[in-house]
Chain A
Amino acid sequence: ETGVTQTPRHLVMGMTNKKSLKCEQHLGHNAMYWYKQSAKKPLELMFVYSLEERVENNSVPSRFSPECPNSSHLFLHLHTLQPEDSALYLCASSQEAPGQGGQPQHFGDGTRLSIL
């Protein structure tokens, strides 16, 4: 039990499909994050939510749409993705947003996404 649960673990979709990734944290944290992890590249921060408000959007294409209905749940809605979007998508949470003390982020196991 990592405290951060992501579903599904694996997802294969065509470029015209619409799907959603789900993340749930059981740690009582106030901040949640989406990262993209591609092979041989640094983790790329996509979105940050603090107290359910989006506080960071790192120039992510609009085909990725986040949703944070409450402090425990985070979604990433996907539509008309491209082959280069194939990657591991990691969700994380922390007590507070970065910069407010040494709050480590707790990561889920990720969703391995493959775009056909």
Chain B
Amino acid sequence: GQNIDQPTEMTATEGAIVQINCTYQTSGFNGLFWYQQHAGEAPTFLSYNVLDGLEEKGRFSSFLSRSKGYSYLLLKELQMKDSASYFCAVVYNQGGKLIFGQGTELSVKP
């Protein structure tokens, strides 16, 4: 299988930092995406990692360790509008399929 694991729910405070972890099976790995989905809306692309290290994009950063089968999405200076579900999705094999995790529902409290 290609199990992708992420926490189901997380809660954080406005202005704080939160890290959402994602683990996956490494065999056949060919890239990892993070998506954000607000309730009732389409998922939107946040980041893509294929090499080890940190990709920073404004308040959001994504990290990848291919050897460990591990990624995280880091959200800084949290805002109420960051309350949403966050999905990691892994591409397996060249020309292969994109497998989504079950998503992490993040609630940002005042």
Contacts and interface: CB of A to CB of B under 8 A. Distances in A.
A105 interface: yes
Contacts of A4: 42
B97 A90 contact: no
Contacts of A45: 97-100
Given A2-B42, A4-B42, A109-B41, A99 B93 contact: yes
Interface in A96-116: 97-100, 102, 104-110
Given A90-B43, A104-B45, A105-B45, A42 B103 contact: yes
A112 B71 CA distance: 31
Interface residues of B, number: 28
Contacts of A105: 33, 45, 98
Contacts of A108: 42
B51 to A, nearest CB: 10
Given A98-B97, A99-B96, A102-B48, A107 B43 contact: yes
Given A41-B102, A102-B50, A107 B44 contact: yes
Contacts of A27: none
B101 A106 contact: no
Given A104-B45, A110-B42, A98 B102 contact: no
A110 B87 CA distance: 17
B4 A42 contact: yes
B1 interface: no
B96 A106 contact: no
B48 A98 contact: no
Contacts of A2: 42
Contact of A99 (B44, B87, B89, B95): B95
Given A40-B102, A43-B100, A48-B97, A98 B91 contact: yes
A56 B103 contact: no
The 4 closest A-B pairs by CB, nearest first: A104-B45, A102-B48, A107-B42, A43-B100
Interface of A: 2, 4, 40-45, 48, 56, 58, 90, 97-100, 102, 104-110
Interface of B: 4, 8, 30-31, 33, 40-45, 48, 50, 87, 89, 91-103
